[in-house]
């Protein structure tokens, strides 16, 4: 079975910096963030994985990532994740 992951990273350099993303390979994607391959996260590396959620439906994963990146989704993640 194939999984699609929505994840939240926390910067070890700046504890106030978080990043929400989507991937099909969670281990590889975290390595890419910590190697500076993502322009949005490179200046706050290293990153640690705070939480992730695995979906079997790609569309649901993409929609959930978008939700976590908007205002009410950010508040949801602060309160619950």
Spans of the chain, pLDDT less than 50: none
Domain that holds residue 75: 4-80
Q: How many domains does the chain have?
A: 1
pLDDT at 1: 93
Edge to edge, what strands does the sheet with 47-55 contain?
Answer: 18-23, 4-11, 47-55
Task: Please give, one letter per residue, the 3-state secondary structure of 47-75.
Answer: EEEEEEEEECCHHHHHHHHHHHCCHHHHH
Give me the pLDDT at residue 18, please: 94
CATH at 59: 3.40.1440.10
Tell me the whole-structure pTM to 2 decimals: 0.92
Residue 71 has a pLDDT of: 87
Q: What is the pLDDT of residues 43-57, one digit of tens each?
A: 999 999 999 999 999
């Amino acid at each position: 079975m194939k999984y699609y992951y929505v994840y939240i990273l926390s910067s070890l350099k700046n504890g106030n910096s978080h990043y929400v993303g989507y991937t099909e390979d969670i281990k590889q994607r975290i390595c890419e963030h910590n190697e500076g391959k993502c322009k949005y996260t490179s200046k706050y590396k290293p990153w640690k994985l705070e939480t992730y959620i695995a979906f079997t439906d790609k569309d649901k994963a993409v929609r959930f990532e978008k939700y976590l990146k908007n205002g009410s989704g950010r508040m949801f993640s602060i309160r619950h994740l």
